[in-house]
A and B are shown apart, each in its own frame.
Chain A
Amino acid sequence: MVNDTAFAPWDDPQAKPLIRFDGVTKTFGNFTAIDDIDLTIYPKEFFALLGPSGCGKTTLMRMLAGFEETTKGTITIDGQNMAGVPANKRAVNMMFQSYALFPHLSVADNLAFGLKRSDMPKSEIQGRVDEMLRLVQLQKFAKRKPHQLSGGQKQRVALARALAKAPKLLLLDEPLGALDKKLRQETQFELMDIQEKTGTTFVIVTHDQEEAMTVASRIAVMDNGKIIQVDTPDRIYEVPNSVYVADFIGDVNTIEGTVSAISGENAELTWGDDTPALRATTSADLTVGNSAAFVIRPEKVAISTTEPDRHNRVQGAVEDIAYLGNLSTYFVRLPNGTLIKAQTANDRRLSQRSITWEDPVWLSWSDTAGIVLRG
């Protein structure tokens, strides 16, 4: 995490990207799977693609790997235009969503498959295979056929096979989907470790936003073939550029209203008839009178039984409490019907907590806790 602050080639205008998408569109018949995407990915990045099912993540990866031609636009890898370059001529390896292990080959032979097709001398192949088996902790399974492995083991073979050739770019299509939570977290750190050791650029597709937040240097949030936002995990979380992104990543409260004042980064939003205007920051291009949305994360909303001394405060009644162990989420209904979630850490025992169902409570947050987005 230390070098995360230092590693930010996307902020460096001199940095040369490894991958460039320029106006890339991909259509299947009259269905547009990828819609005019511009994207740059830098060497040694751990780049995550996040988005709902069917938004085009796999299609994007397949275009990088060389299995789909672009309909429009160009993809450049390491300065070379990839148009017409077949998959086997790209320094790119892909881990398939379905693993695609060769059923007739043992685990070891699956790992050796790509090496045998490279210019690696025969004498070194066995060593490399052993190294890969160790990496994914499958030494004992070297002689097994894929059908004799569990789902998680298959996944690790697929990962090791894609890593074996030490590609410049590694594409991982939901690499950890079949693992249980613990193994998944271990593998995530392993992946980051591997990435650090090998300096390979990773592009990873995942459905799991927590996973994306953990491993990625940057995240691209996609929707319907478009990239909505590309940013570092913390910025995606703290300064989403749209309600869609805010809603997709983590939990969020959204309040629709009208911009009533704006000066620099600070904005005020009026909403409802008898509620005070909300103060928040904004980076959106808004003017007074625009309709906009105020978004705030539940953990930034404070809950109290006494009236707090803050500008942003509303009163309501607790409708429901979701107890998550370390956290509790309070669902508070405001008099105008809006439901607001407030999350607090349970640093006290349950019995000692003072707020319960139907209690009248105050919700409050600082002037910089929420942000105003284009509505």
Chain B
Amino acid sequence: MSRRLLVLIPYLWLTALFLVPFIIVLKISLSDYAISIPPYTPQLDIAGGWAAVKDFFTALDLENYWFLTEDDLYWKAYLSSLQIAALSTLFTLIVAFPIAYGMANAPDHWRPTLLMLVILPFWTSFLIRIYAWIGILSNDGFLNQLLQWIGLTSEPLTILNTNVAVYIGIVYAYLPFMVLPIYSTLEKLDGSLLEAAQDLGCSRTSAFWLVTVRLAKPGIIAGCFLVFIPALGEFVIPSLLGGSDTLMIGKVLWEEFFSNRDWPVASAVAIILLILLIVPIVLFQRNEQAQREADQ
């Protein structure tokens, strides 16, 4: 009995924190825009009795979803978000793997410190850290000053307010989410496996690919999902670092909600984003499950 109660706790939280908001958003996405507070109709009027409830349900429709297909802004934003999220996941992986590899091969007494350094940025607010990049990337920012001082460029490079800045921001912000899972798989790697591979005829390079990278695969996959999923809906980084032509669905969503105050359309955008995310989330769960089974 008490075990059942225990299992109930996560489900209660899930209901409160996911299911209820989801149903509210879903409901709004099926409503119509209205100049009122809140800015949509119909509103559920339980006092009106059965007829009112019936009216309420008949007033719901898929109009907003049709609207999303009519204006190419939306699907372009989805595509562009997918592209930005995928590319920045790849870049994050390229940056993170050597870091994780270096950490896993560092002397034992160094590892806690290195781990600490990876987590350290979380001690500062996310918003402040992204703002700080404005100071680094702007035309008279640190990066341009440095480049000009070394003599690599004579003119300042325009990085801020371009997609490049968005990529830099995402790679920077999500790097720990990639480093940590890869590190945890590499740390477990038994060095004698590499020697066995070499003993059986692999060169150092092929032993690295066939053993190190292969055995780090669950960590790499986990890291990629942990970066890709939040990056897809990312809104702060493209708003602060991106330019007017940076198209990301998170930004569109924000504008729909707060600039246009069109909650129903904004909710429809959010629901589609959620559906897009379900695929990678399910794949991620599968990967975790497989990893747990392999660990037993």
Q: How far is the CB of A119 from chain B (nearest CB, A)?
A: 10
- Contact assessment for B200 and A117 in the assembled complex, using a CB-CB cutoff below 8 Å: yes
- Contact assessment for B196 and A100 in the assembled complex, using a CB-CB cutoff below 8 Å: yes
Q: How far is the CB of B220 from chain A (nearest CB, A)?
A: 13
Query: Of the candidates A86, A100, A161, A165, which one forms a contact with B192 in the assembled complex, judged by CB atoms under 8 Å apart?
Result: A100
Q: Which residue in chain B gives the minimum CB-CB distance to A112? A: B200
Residue B157 lies at the interface, judged by CB distance under 8 Å to chain A: no
- Contact assessment for B203 and A88 in the assembled complex, using a CB-CB cutoff below 8 Å: yes
- Contact assessment for B192 and A114 in the assembled complex, using a CB-CB cutoff below 8 Å: no
- Contact assessment for A96 and B200 in the assembled complex, using a CB-CB cutoff below 8 Å: no
Q: CA A96 – CA B190 in complex, angstroms?
A: 12
Query: Of the candidates B190, B195, B214, which one forms a contact with A67 in the assembled complex, judged by CB atoms under 8 Å apart?
Result: B195
Contact A93-B296, Cβ < 8 Å, known A67-B195, A102-B211: no
Q: CA A328 – CA B204 in complex, angstroms?
A: 56
Q: CA A118 – CA B190 in complex, angstroms?
A: 24
- Contact assessment for B197 and A113 in the assembled complex, using a CB-CB cutoff below 8 Å: yes
Q: Which residue in chain A gives the minimum CB-CB distance to B211? A: A102
Q: CA A103 – CA B188 in complex, angstroms?
A: 12
A 67-122 contacts with B by CB, 8 A: 67, 86-88, 92-94, 96, 98, 100-104, 113-114, 117-118
Residue A147 lies at the interface, judged by CB distance under 8 Å to chain B: yes
Q: How far is the CB of B212 from chain A (nearest CB, A)?
A: 12
Residue A65 lies at the interface, judged by CB distance under 8 Å to chain B: yes
- Contact assessment for B200 and A114 in the assembled complex, using a CB-CB cutoff below 8 Å: yes
Q: CA A162 – CA B197 in complex, angstroms?
A: 11
Query: How many residues in A have their beta carbons less than 8 Å from beta carbons of B?
Result: 25
Q: How far is the CB of A320 from chain B (nearest CB, A)?
A: 45
Taking CB atoms, residues of chain A closer than 8 Å to B204 are 86
Interface string of A311-333 (1 = CB under 8 A from B): 00000000000000000000000
Interface size class on chain B is: 10 to 19
Q: How far is the CB of B5 from chain A (nearest CB, A)?
A: 35
Interface string of B176-211 (1 = CB under 8 A from A): 000000000000001011011111111110100001
Q: Which residue in chain A gives the minimum CB-CB distance to B218? A: A104
Query: Of the candidates A88, A98, A162, which one forms a contact with B202 in the assembled complex, judged by CB atoms under 8 Å apart?
Result: A88
Taking CB atoms, residues of chain A closer than 8 Å to B192 are 96, 98, 100
- Contact assessment for A100 and B201 in the assembled complex, using a CB-CB cutoff below 8 Å: no
Taking CB atoms, residues of chain A closer than 8 Å to B214 are 104
- Contact assessment for A88 and B199 in the assembled complex, using a CB-CB cutoff below 8 Å: yes
A-B contact pairs, 30 of them (CB 8 A): A65-B199, A67-B195, A67-B198, A86-B203, A87-B195, A87-B198, A88-B198, A88-B200, A88-B201, A88-B202, A88-B203, A92-B199, A94-B196, A94-B199, A96-B192, A98-B192, A100-B192, A100-B193, A103-B294, A104-B215, A104-B294, A113-B197, A113-B200, A114-B200, A117-B200, A117-B202, A118-B201, A147-B294, A147-B296, A162-B199
Which residues from chain B sit less than 8 Å from chain A, CB to CB? Answer: 190, 192-193, 195-204, 206, 211, 214-215, 294, 296
Additional A-B contact list (14), CB under 8 Å, known A96-B192, A104-B215, A165-B200: A86-B204, A87-B198, A87-B199, A88-B203, A93-B199, A93-B200, A94-B199, A96-B195, A98-B192, A101-B196, A113-B200, A117-B201, A117-B206, A161-B196
